[in-house]
Amino acid sequence: MSRDLDSCTSYTYEDTKQIAEHIQEKTVYRPTLGIICGSGLGGLVDQVEEPFILSYTEIPGFPVSTVPGHEGKLVFGMLSGKQVVLMKGRSHSYEGYVPQKITLPVRVMHMMGITTLFVTNASGGINPTYKVGDVMIIKDHVNLAGFAGHNPLVGVNDDRFGPRFPPMSNAYDLELRKLAKSKAKELGFSDFVQEGVYSMMVGPNFETVTEARMLGIMGVDATGMSTVPEVLVARHCGMRVFGMSLITNVVVKEYDSEAKANHEEVLETGAMRSKDLQKIIGAIVGEITL
């Protein structure tokens, strides 16, 4: 490596290529599907056959998560008959990382040949019809952090990655969403699988009552603290994106409520519903053409 990439906050095309090559030198796998596992959803890794595991600490420049439920491992292997690479854990803005650092793994996956990206997360239900344990297929997002300039695409654009002004009206692939709904129905999961709009708040605090009410007025169905930066970069690189949120808590929207959101509830719900989520993702992976 020509630079100390661990201390960098922005990465050139050449930096990213070097990191990708560093990883590929260690594994024979050459997947075209990448999956980012969110809070409490790392159990999907257990379904991967013939795994090759690489800790983030072994990868120059990779951000290392400090959050419980995010172990920090890159896992290559076979899932439903397809070569895949999974991120078991991700980093977040509230940990102090800049957006360009958070999304470096997505750019690296692009350089390794990933053309389809699945993103999963734990989120709070804004939609009053959502229940804890529901799974939401993401059809769109609201980039609230982007309203304040918190966007991984800010800065000098390198056309080798993607265009200066990438469209986001089709951020979440329609065909993959249709396939997910079909597979959920086949599995008998239709009663807890929803489709809706996700929003990202930077965190680490959970939302105030007024903030939660505002999100509802804006048309948001579920909110979390991740995913959007990764999706922006994936689409900038031309990847197909599919996203799912596990509803791990109901966001408090009443001023006199005694209920309080907490991270332990997030992890508990993730453990409760993880096997069903794994079945859905496994069924989708087995069906798609890569």
Per-residue pLDDT of 42-87, as tens digits, reads 778 888 999 999 999 999 989 887 765 557 899 999 999 999 999 9
- Inside any domain, residue 138: yes
- Inside any domain, residue 2: no
Give me the catalytic one of 70, 110, 141, 236: 70
Q: Domain holding 52: CATH number?
A: 3.40.50.1580
- Inside any domain, residue 24: no
150 is catalytic: no
Kindly write down the DSSP assignment for every residue of 59-95, as one continuous string.
Answer: STT-----STT---EEEEEEETTEEEEEEES---GGG
Banded pLDDT at 266 (limits 50, 70, 90): low
122 is catalytic: yes
Instruction: Write out the residue range of the structural domain in which residue 193 sits.
Output: 31-287
- Inside any domain, residue 20: no
Contact 225, 94 (CB under 8 A): yes
95 is catalytic: yes
Q: What is the pLDDT of residue 192?
A: 92
User: Between 27 and 250, whose confidence is greater?
Assistant: 27
Q: What is the pLDDT of residue 45?
A: 86
Give me the catalytic one of 65, 123, 199, 249: 249
Backbone angles phi, psi at 201, to 5 degrees: -105, 145
- Inside any domain, residue 8: no
| Helix, strand, or coil (residue 127) | coil
Banded pLDDT at 1 (limits 50, 70, 90): very low
Minimum mean pLDDT range among 140-149, 175-184, 192-201, 260-269 = 260-269
Among the listed residues 87, 133, 82, 90, the one whose alpha carbon sits nearest the alpha carbon of residue 109: 87
- Inside any domain, residue 14: no
**Planar angle of CA 209, 212, 216, nearest 5 degrees:** 140
Alpha helices in 62-191 (DSSP H): 99-102, 104-111, 144-147, 174-186
70 is catalytic: yes
Contact 88, 37 (CB under 8 A): yes
What percent of the chain clears pLDDT 90, i.e. is strictly above it? 68
* CA gap 160, 181 in Å, rounded: 34
What are the structure tokens assigned to 114, written together?
């990933």
Backbone angles phi, psi at 260, to 5 degrees: -140, 135
94 is catalytic: yes
Give me the catalytic one of 200, 225, 234, 239: 225
126-136: average pLDDT: 93
Query: How many folded domains does the chain comprise?
Result: 1
Give me the catalytic one of 39, 93, 151, 245: 39
pLDDT at residue 267 is higher than 80: no
Give me the catalytic one of 168, 263, 265, 287: 263
